[in-house]
Amino acid sequence: MSIDAADLPAEPARPLALLDKALRLQTPLADRHVDRMRRNRPEARPQQIVSRLNAELRAATISAGAGVGAAAAAPGVGTGLALAAAGTEFFAYLNASVLYVLARGEVQGVTIEEIERRRTLVMAVMLGDAGAKSIGAVAERTGQHWARQLVRAIPMTKINAVNKVLGRHFVTKYGTKSGIIVLGKVVPFGIGAAIGGTANGIFSQGTITAANRAFGPPPQSWEA
């Protein structure tokens, strides 16, 4: 998906605004993406589709991070332009992560209609252990495979309270700490490419691991 400069907010560090934009863009695509994957591989079981989603997330995020680092090394590219590219790359990373989480839910029968619950799901998965603990502390429901509880058991008043807590953690992780990684990506002479690709690889694997805990193992068959 192409990213236009108009998709980015005026201020560079607004991860929650970017998250909401990514949710609006990717929500209508998630079920269609899963349907297309199943049509292309009609014999594939849910586990195989999940494996493909994992591979897509890794590929999308690692290549995006490495691309920013490589661009920073190009002759004539200043730090300002490189940082602008890194901001666009973060939005691309966020879109890939949102699509992954929502598509993973489609595969495993966790389809969420309310925007607030989708926001909770995505933030909690992208925050890993901190996200799951925040849900447990505020909603008083946690443990393994909590994504289905998000749909069925947690009342909306609790969801709104959870989102406030998750939002603060999300800004800290993807606003402050990612800024350090962005600076690493714009190191000249191509060093930033390795830093950017590696950092995004770590983030995407963390998202996959957290999704495994949130959703549990995929069913053995689509009928299940």
Q: Is residue 162 part of a domain?
A: yes
Model confidence band, residue 142 (pLDDT cutoffs 50, 70, 90): low
Average pLDDT over residues 9-31: 80
Q: Is residue 37 part of a domain?
A: yes
Q: Is residue 221 part of a domain?
A: no
Q: Is residue 5 part of a domain?
A: no
- Share of residues in the chain with pLDDT > 90 (%): 37
Which pLDDT score is estimated for 10?
A: 36
Q: Is residue 2 part of a domain?
A: no
pTM: 0.76
DSSP structure string for the chain: ----GGGS-SSS--HHHHHHHHHHHHHHHHHHHHHHHHHH-TT--HHHHHHHHHHHHHHHHHHHHHHHHHHHTSTT--HHHHHHHHHHHHHHHHHHHHHHHHHHHHHTT----SHHHHHHHHHHHHHTHHHHHHHHHHHS--SSS-HHHHHHTS-HHHHHHHHHHHHHHHHIIIIIIHHHHHHHHT-TTTHHHHHHHHHHHHHHHHHHHHHHHHH-SPPSSS--
pLDDT over threshold 60, residue 8: no
Q: Is residue 8 part of a domain?
A: no
Q: Is residue 4 part of a domain?
A: no
pLDDT in tens, 87-135: 566 777 888 899 999 999 999 999 898 999 999 999 999 998 888 888 8
Task: Name the domain count of the chain.
Answer: 1
Q: Is residue 220 part of a domain?
A: no
pLDDT in tens, 177-189: 454 444 444 444 4
The domain in which residue 119 lies consists of 13-215
